[in-house]
Amino acid sequence: MKGHTSCLKSLLDADADKDAKDSDRRTALMIAALNGHTACLKSLLDAGADKEAQNSDGETALIVAADNGHCSCVEALAQAGSKDVPDRYGTTVLMKGDNEQLKKKIAQTKSKASSLQHEVVDLTQLLTEKTQLLTTCEKSWNGAMMILPAVSIIFFCFLSSCGKENKEK
């Protein structure tokens, strides 16, 4: 792969197996993470590559990126929803990453994801409330439109009777 994003995109467009594994059960996503090729990694993620695939040591692309100090790859994987799956030794990303900057980046990304999830829930609730309000208003408007002819007749009769009273006086 060697970071040749255009070649990778051509292969993906030709329906190449994005989750093919080598003899060590490494996928292209893991190799991109291993070498810090963030653009290739993002292309693979966009194509739907399996973020949770594990190599022969049980490592995911997220662990491979963290173990090799590739913060931008870790961030891209975390934003794409990669889970911190322990490898076959029970080691997680936060245990593997000796790099403090990397640990902070992972924690920040998780915090942002959680915050965005809460915002989506809040927006969904707001949209539901507004939809219910619009439905109520629409029903009220439709009801008003249905009684408008009756109100018009009553008003006309009222005006007609007022005119008769004024002529009689």
Q: What is the pTM of this model?
A: 0.59
Specify the range with the lowest mean pLDDT, choosing from 27-36, 109-118, 159-168: 159-168
| H-type alpha helices, 15-99 | 28-35, 38-46, 61-67, 71-79, 93-96
Q: What is the pLDDT of residue 17?
A: 93
Structure tokens at 136: 């109520």
Specify the range with the lowest mean pLDDT, choosing from 41-55, 89-103, 138-152: 138-152
Say yes or no to pLDDT of 97 above 60.
Answer: no
Say yes or no to pLDDT of 159 above 80.
Answer: no
The Cα 143–Cα 47 span in angstroms is 51
Q: Which residue in the block uniquely carries the two structure tokens 């997220």?
A: 62
Task: Tell me which of 86 and 53 has the higher pLDDT.
Answer: 53
Q: What is the pLDDT of residue 24?
A: 94
